[in-house]
Amino acid sequence: MKYISTRGQAPALNFEDVLLTGLAADGGLYVPETLPQFSAADIEQMAELDYPQLAQKIIAPFVSDCIPEADLEAILQSTYAEFRHDAVAPLVQLDHNQWVLELFHGPTLAFKDFALQLLGRLLDYVLERKHQKVVIMGATSGDTGSAAIEGCKRCNNIDIFILHPHGRVSDVQRKQMTTVVGDNIHNLAVQGNFDDCQAMVKSSFNDRGFLPADRRLVAVNSINWARIMAQIVYYFYAAVALGAPARKMAFSVPTGNFGDIFAGYLAQQMGLPIERLIIATNSNDVLHRVLTSGTYGRQSLEHTLSPSMDITVSSNFERLLFDLYQRDGAAIGDLMSRFDAGDISFSAAAMDRAKTLFSSCRVSDDETREQIAATWDRCEYMLDPHSAIGVKAALDCDLPASVPVVTLATAHPAKFPDAVKQAGLDEAPSLPHHLRDLFERPERCEVLPNELAAVQAFMAGNINA
């Protein structure tokens, strides 16, 4: 499998090199040159597979020129053994045709564990064989950071630097990052917002001069293709459990960086019968505005009840645009350079293509609180604020009653106890057993100004030999 850049100017890479990078040299994002296809008969047979077996079926074609089947199988078995539910991604029915897919049974209680537990193991596997050390740089609005640290903490060949917006992640999220012990783990609280942190990561890929010459810079954000690849699996898993390929369904996806929902788009392109993908945003609604107006613009970032989605520059949207513009890398390069200077509008043809599969919905903080309360009152089911946005969008979307809608429940409510409290629930969410003493653990974190030079200087001075 070859991977090509969305901007068409960078060399094509194999899986191993795509894993060991972030942005392509031309500033684009890597995508597979072609996608594996699964027929209706293939999908029918998936019903017999457990989660790691299904992951093997979906992921093997993407990695097979670098990782032998038996090694991949061992990696996947060990990855999903870390999850606290036997089904790994259990489905819960809320009403006649509303479901939630619980993606929070991994070690850090968010959907990021699906990809980052795997990414850590893949990096370990590849780096051991190559006898190489790398530097990881990641930006987080709360969840990617802890999942990346958990996934990579055992890798001897990695120094990991995670930038989070100072004071803008929940206490549980911060503690999950800053209490993990290890000389190779570095938490940086940047005095800015998530967009600032993400921009620093992207700038560092464009200019790696601050790193020692023998260290590659690797991304753990969803700009790294391996993140997206791992997330495709649970769309197949949920759809097959609900009757695919005979039955079509829709997915409602709480969206920020467009990585999770882009994985759903790829599942559909690979043959999964998906009727609709619903982009559910908080008031940082740049993606909702794209779909309703055809214009992609910048907005000032709002701090909401769903902090992990407080993002206004949505990295992976570029991957979808590449397809909407029929894989014309030059057109994407031109669009993205104009976006750097201001708002951009998309062609009617591109927007028509997008609307055949995607709808969108913006959910305010008040509506989020109301949805948490309503779902609790009706089903005694506790939603976290991000998943509540997904459920609200699923209920408001205009789909025939015969189409089941699956909302991706992207985080455990115990990560956001304040939001749950604000919804007026008579019960507080409790942390699972392995995190019960989280608030007693000592923290380690460096507060830094919102300046790229300060961050890069800190990194350069703290890379282990």
Ligand X SMILES: N[C@@H](CCOP(=O)(O)O)C(=O)O
Ligand Y SMILES: Cc1ncc(COP(=O)(O)O)c(C=O)c1O
User: Which residue spans within 264-322 are E strands per DSSP?
Assistant: 274-281, 295-296
Q: What is the DSSP string of 114-154?
A: HHHHHHHHHHHHHHHHHT--EEEEEE-SSHHHHHHHHHHTT
Query: Is residue 254 part of the contact set for ligand X (CB under 6 A)?
Result: no
Complex with ligand X: residue 259 or 413, whichever CB lies closer: 259
Name the one residue in this structure whose structure tokens are 């740049």.
286
221 binds, among ligand X, ligand Y, none (CB under 5 to 8 A by kind): ligand X
Complex with ligand X: residue 284 or 308, whichever CB lies closer: 308
C-alpha–C-alpha distance, residues 317 and 344, integer Å: 13
283 binds, among ligand Y, ligand X, none (CB under 5 to 8 A by kind): none
* Contact (CB, 8 A) for 97 and 445: no
Cα–Cα nearest to 179, from 463, 447, 445:
445
Query: Is residue 188 part of the contact set for ligand Y (CB under 6 A)?
Result: no
Query: Is residue 309 part of the contact set for ligand Y (CB under 6 A)?
Result: yes
The size of the interface with ligand Y (CB under 6 A), counted in residues, is 16
- Tell me which DSSP letter residue 79 carries: H
Site for ligand X (CB under 6 A): which residue of 97, 98, 144, 193?
144
Cα–Cα nearest to 391, from 414, 408, 378:
408
C-alpha–C-alpha distance, residues 186 and 159, integer Å: 8
Site for ligand X (CB under 6 A): which residue of 142, 329, 385, 404?
142
C-alpha–C-alpha distance, residues 234 and 240, integer Å: 10
User: Residue 133 catalytic?
Assistant: no
| Span of 65-73, 141-149, 245-253, 274-282 interacting with ligand X by CB under 6 A | 141-149
Coil vs helix vs strand at 240: helix
Site for ligand Y (CB under 6 A): which residue of 117, 178, 308, 360?
308
Pairing type for strands 405-409 and 98-102 reads: parallel
Complex with ligand X: residue 138 or 333, whichever CB lies closer: 138
Amino acid code (one letter) for 413: P
* Contact (CB, 8 A) for 10 and 26: yes
Complex with ligand Y: residue 271 or 413, whichever CB lies closer: 413
C-alpha–C-alpha distance, residues 190 and 196, integer Å: 8
Query: Is residue 313 part of the contact set for ligand Y (CB under 6 A)?
Result: no
Query: Is residue 413 part of the contact set for ligand X (CB under 6 A)?
Result: no
Complex with ligand X: residue 225 or 376, whichever CB lies closer: 225
C-alpha–C-alpha distance, residues 225 and 223, integer Å: 6
At its nearest, how many Å lie between ligand Y and the CB of residue 108?
A: 10
Question: Residues 144-175, buried b or exposed e (16+ Cβ, 10 A)?
Answer: bbbbbbbbbeebebbbbbbbbbbebbbebbbb
Query: Is residue 260 part of the contact set for ligand Y (CB under 6 A)?
Result: yes
Count other Cβ atoms within 10 Å, centred on residue 29. 28
At its nearest, how many Å lie between ligand X and the CB of residue 98?
A: 24
* Contact (CB, 8 A) for 288 and 360: yes
Of 112, 202, 248, 392, the active-site residue reads 112
Query: Is residue 259 part of the contact set for ligand Y (CB under 6 A)?
Result: yes
At its nearest, how many Å lie between ligand X and the CB of residue 330?
A: 25
282 binds, among ligand Y, ligand X, none (CB under 5 to 8 A by kind): none
C-alpha–C-alpha distance, residues 62 and 256, integer Å: 25
Query: Is residue 221 part of the contact set for ligand X (CB under 6 A)?
Result: yes
Query: Is residue 259 part of the contact set for ligand X (CB under 6 A)?
Result: yes
Query: Is residue 219 part of the contact set for ligand Y (CB under 6 A)?
Result: no
User: Which residue spans within 174-215 are E strands per DSSP?
Assistant: 185-190
Query: Is residue 31 part of the contact set for ligand Y (CB under 6 A)?
Result: no
* Contact (CB, 8 A) for 289 and 279: no
Site for ligand X (CB under 6 A): which residue of 102, 113, 143, 195?
143
Query: Is residue 201 part of the contact set for ligand Y (CB under 6 A)?
Result: no
307 binds, among ligand X, ligand Y, none (CB under 5 to 8 A by kind): none
140 binds, among ligand Y, ligand X, none (CB under 5 to 8 A by kind): ligand X
Complex with ligand Y: residue 135 or 309, whichever CB lies closer: 309
Query: Is residue 417 part of the contact set for ligand Y (CB under 6 A)?
Result: no
Residues acting as catalytic residues? 112
Binding residues vs ligand X (CB under 6 A):
140-145, 221-222, 256-257, 259, 308, 315
